[in-house]
Each structure stands twice: as C-alpha cells, then as structure tokens.
Amino acid sequence: MARKKTERIVFENVEVLDAGAKGVSVAKAPDGKVIFIPNVVPGDVVDVQTFKKRKAYYEGRATTIHKLSEHRIEPVCQHFGACGGCKWQNMKYSQQLFYKNQEVFNNLKRIGKIELPEFEPILGSEETLFYRNKMEFSFSNARWLTPEEISSGEEMGKENALGFHIPKMWDKILDIKKCHLQQDPSNEIRNEIRRFANENKLSFFNPREHEGLLRTLMIRTASTGEIMVMIQFFYDNKEERELLLDFLAERFPMITSLQYVINGKANDTIYDQDVVLYKGRDYILEEMEGLKFSINAKSFYQTNSAQAYELYKITREYAGLTGNELIYDLYTGTGTIAQFVSKQAKKVIGVEAVPEAIEDAKINAQRNNITNCDFFVGDMKNVFNDEFIATHGQPDVIITDPPRDGMHKDVVDMILKIAPKRVVYVSCNSATQARDLALMDVKYKVIKVRPVDMFPQTHHVENVVLLELK
C-alpha cells in the first residue's frame, strides 16, 4: 500500500529483487516503477520511503526491515552505512560475486549485443578485506556527525576529522577509526597523525573557508613490506610541518618513503604539484613474479596487488604467447603488463599518455633487465596511427587496458585496420567495454570472457575478454 507524505511516498513490504549498478539495490514499486535503495540486500523485505521521484524510477531508503535476506552478513566495519566505501559489506561474498558477474553479462549482452561464449567463472579475491595498497584520507575541521550522534542530543561542538568524504558531499569528512581496506600499520598511522595533530594544535583544513594546515594523507603499502606516507599541507609552516613529519619518522621507523606536498590550490589533486622527499627514498618497491616495480607518489599501480597478479596471469594466458609475438600493450601505465608478458614474447611496445608513468616503465624495465620492451608516451588516438605501425611493426597480439571511458573510436578503428590475430581487452568498466566490443564485432569474435574481482565489498568489477579474428 502506498500513501503520500509531504511529497514522499512510503511503500510497505517491498521485496528487494536485485543489486544494481553503483552498488545500489533494486525493488519494484506497486506502480511498476523501479526503486533504488542503498544499504539493503536482495531478498530483504522492507518499507521504503522515497526521497526522489523521476519518470521511470524512485530513489528511497529503507525505514523498516521486515525480513532479512539469507544473503546478508553482519558488516565488519563500524563505519558501514555512513561511509560510502564498502557498500556491499552487508552481503555474503559469494553473492557479491554473483551480482558482479551478472553486471558484466548484462552489459555485454544488452549494450554489446554480440555473440558470447559461456563465461569462465568469475575469479574472486582471496583477500576480501585489507586488500588495498593505497588509501587517501582527508583532514577536516568539521567532522561529519552521524544521524545517531545528532539524535543523541549531546553537545558535539566542532571536531577535527581525518577520514573519507561522505558520498556526494565534497566538504563533509567522516572520521575513520578503523578502515578494513588496507593492512596495518595504515590505521595506526592515520590515528596517530590525528592524535598528534590535535595534541599539538595543528589546524585541520576547512574546505569552505580554504584555511587550515593539514589537507590530505596518502598511505601506500606493498607486498614487499615497504610503506609510503605522503602528507599534503595547504601552506608551508616549517616548524609545524617538521614537528609532524619528525614525529611520524620516529614513531613509525618502518616507513620507507616519507614525503609531502605544499598545495595552496583550490583542489587537492597532487598531479600538478611538486612532491618533496622528507625521509627515505621517493618510491617504494612492489614485486610480482620476481619483477620489481617502483611506485612513486603519483604512479598508477593496481590497488589490489595480489589480485593484479591473477588478472595479469589471465591476460597472459589469453594472449596465447609462444615467444615469437610482437605485442602492443595499449594504455600501459607504468608498463606492468608489458613487462609481465615480455619473457614469453619477442617484443612488447607499450603506449601511455602520462609521461611520468612512461619514465617509471623505462626505469622498471631496466631494473628488471628487460631489453625487449619499448615505451612511448602520448594520447592513444594520436600516437597509435599508420606511421607508428610502419615504424614498430604489425603486432600479432594487442593487449588493451583503457581507463573507465573505454577506447576512443579512432583507437578501435585502428585496431580493426591493422587486425592483429588476437586482442586481449582488460576493462574496469564493462559498459564501455561492451560498446567497444560491438564496434569490433565486424572483424572479431569473442572467444573467452572472465570477470575478475579486484575490489571486494564494492560493486566494481574488472573483466578480461579474448577476441580473435573471425
């Protein structure tokens, strides 16, 4: 039954049917429209209060849960619900994998509209918690108060916070006591920084007024045990900066790389900023199958290192190498896939837009004594052209791992034009991958598909597709 309540509608006893895109679950209203509901699990029966109404759907929140789904699990994190980071922590991992697989299948079917083989089983991550090697936290002088805190009636005052942005709120920071995504000593480092900064009255950033010393904190960990900590200050105050960094160096002698940035810009991205080394070296080392990869403060590196190894093994297997192939690794980043497959190839050519990443790729290849990889920098749609092919040769295999937007149409056209016998398409967004596969359907047949879960507790999923000439 539905009743109106100041523009908001309450639907009672609604069964949650599906887990949809962006980690939000889906139910059907009595009028047939879809209702998107966060923090519930398929199989739950709930009352929903809507807060948004559109032509085709409602958005609402569950006010009462009448029946708990058998797919539910108790979230391990005290911040679940308020923090947007692990939206599926209340769903059993086997179910998370089921919905991730379904998302890839639906995208490839509905958007791609191509003939598909039976999928290989989605590869789950062995570690479902503490699997991330990089976390970024923000400082704020106005801690986000949860609805429970507000309704408690206690005087909260303004408090400093160090944690994550509340979803869709750029100026609200949830104070994080324990995050289950990164291994120790990540939590201890963050909590000690907050304690020390508060005790020593170092000011936390105010994003509305643009004032306060402490802005962001990045912690990177590696399977080698190396740790990088980088603090971003809004302005330079040598005394306060050194007070904090010296404290960190002494309290956590295991930090391999201690760095900082002074960023007075409006936004807090560090990619156009100088990163200054305070102690140790300016990179940490990650290791995979005997290969060493140096990671600096700005480097892209797959955030789940253990599962990146699995992803790369599938990619290499799909490439079907004999040792005689010329491979192009498009969107190579720091050249990790290129180097990973290089032993089984005659030659690998990596192309990437970020110059620093290509610098790293070259340094890493040298460190790994790899001599059959060459790396080139530039926007793919401009670099990957007839002249490039004439200079470097006709590839036997193309491996492509584009960003979320997928490949530019000119890049797809170029692949179709040079038509290598095999293409391995790695994607973190199966919707854009499906669009590109549809374009490639004129010449290529999808031979294998294998989703890989790099991000347990979230709705994100990676997908590897093998294409061969028809």
Ligand X SMILES: C[S@@+](CC[C@H](N)C(=O)[O-])C[C@H]1O[C@@H](n2cnc3c(N)ncnc32)[C@H](O)[C@@H]1O
Pick out residues in 410-429 that bind ligand X (CB under 6 A). Answer: 428
Q: Does 333 bind ligand X (CB under 6 A)?
A: yes
Let me know the angle formed at the C-alpha of 405 by 101 and 354, rounded to the nearest 5 degrees.
120
Write the Ramachandran bin of 141: left for phi over 0, alpha for psi from -120 to 50, otherwise beta.
Answer: alpha
CA distances from 285 to 21, 228, 266 (A): 35, 10, 32
Nearer to ligand X, 291 or 428 (CB): 428
CA distances from 357 to 152, 404, 434 (A): 50, 18, 27
Interface pick for ligand X out of 18, 188, 211, 379 (rule CB under 6 A): 379
Q: Which stretch binds ligand X (CB under 6 A): 75-83, 237-245, 350-358, 416-424?
A: 350-358
Nearer to ligand X, 235 or 376 (CB): 376
Residue with smallest beta-carbon separation from ligand X: 333
Pick out residues in 380-399 that bind ligand X (CB under 6 A). Answer: 380
Nearer to ligand X, 187 or 463 (CB): 463
Between CA 162 and CA 160 the distance in angstroms is 7
Q: Does 286 bind ligand X (CB under 6 A)?
A: no
Q: Are 279 and 247 in contact (CB under 8 A)?
A: no
Minimum distance of ligand X from residue 312's CB (angstroms): 7
Nearer to ligand X, 176 or 452 (CB): 452
Interface pick for ligand X out of 131, 331, 375, 455 (rule CB under 6 A): 331
User: Which residues are tagged catalytic?
Assistant: 428
Instruction: Using DSSP bridges, classify how beta strands 347-352 and 373-377 pair: parallel, antiparallel or unpaired.
Output: parallel
Between CA 322 and CA 68 the distance in angstroms is 52
Binding site for S-adenosyl-L-methionine, residues? 302, 331, 352, 401
Pick out residues in 142-201 that bind ligand X (CB under 6 A). Answer: none
Question: By rule CB under 6 A, what string of x and - marks binding of each residue 220-239 to ligand X?
Answer: --------------------
Q: Alpha helix locations (H) across 386-461?
A: 386-392, 409-418, 430-440
Minimum distance of ligand X from residue 363's CB (angstroms): 15
Pick out residues in 297-316 that bind ligand X (CB under 6 A). Answer: 300, 302
Residue 164 β-bridge partners: 174
Q: Which of 408, 420, 400, 355 is nearest to 382 (CA)?
A: 408
First vs last C-alpha separation in the chain:
54
Q: Which stretch binds ligand X (CB under 6 A): 15-23, 66-74, 86-94, 347-355?
A: 347-355
Interface pick for ligand X out of 142, 258, 337, 358 (rule CB under 6 A): 337
Q: Is 277 exposed, middle or buried (0-12, 13-18, 19+ CB in 10 A)?
A: middle
Give the residues lining the site for ligand X (CB under 6 A).
Answer: 300, 302, 331-333, 336-337, 352-354, 357, 379-380, 401-403, 428
